[in-house]
Amino acid sequence: MQIMPEKIKVLMSLGSNTGNRLTMLTKALSELERGGFCITDKSKIWETSPWGLTNQPRFLNMCICAETKFPPEEMIRTIKNIEKKLGRSKSIKWGPREIDIDIIAIDELVIETPDLSVPHRHMHERAFVLIPLKEIAPWFRHPVTGKTLDEMICALPAEKMEWII
């Protein structure tokens, strides 16, 4: 495992729509901390409609800001292992899932590999990412398009999102 010389900032989105959704988010936060991510901020938890495949239960979503010394390849490997540990199984694309942890951005890096796209390729289309992200990273600017969170949010269709915690 390669360790980065200094900590880098990573923004993540977490979601769950099966089982006890709140418990799953709480467990994911604990596992991320144990796994080498120092969580520095977290958004409220929002209940949202599913995206992509819409005929499924509603999600609980949140975003976090964390610091780590891991390089991006180790970050994604650690996150996938946490998802698996928490019971995520392979299913249909955008289908129901126990836990989903997505890397949204890593500092101002732009990465495109088979295992990782940073910034997240669909972030600008998802209110359930942008709105919680604005709570914890209002300074964020998309490293490819240069758009602010407000600009990306304004470009989305209206969506009902309910803050629950």
**Residue 107 catalytic?**
no
**Residue 97 catalytic?**
yes
Reference 105, options 12, 4, 7, 15; nearest CA is 12
**Residue 126 catalytic?**
no
- DSSP 8-class letter at 145: T
Q: Catalytic pick from 21, 34, 41, 100?
A: 100
Reference 61, options 39, 28, 33, 93; nearest CA is 28
Q: Catalytic pick from 102, 115, 121, 141?
A: 102
**Residue 88 catalytic?**
yes
Q: Catalytic pick from 34, 41, 97, 115?
A: 97
Show Cβ contacts of residue 24 under 8 Å, excluding neighbours closer than 6 positions: 16, 86, 98, 99
Show Cβ contacts of residue 83 under 8 Å, excluding neighbours closer than 6 positions: 99, 100, 101
Let me know how many helices (H) and strands (E) the chain has, helices first.
4, 8
Q: Catalytic pick from 41, 77, 88, 126?
A: 88
Give the active site residues.
88, 97, 100, 102
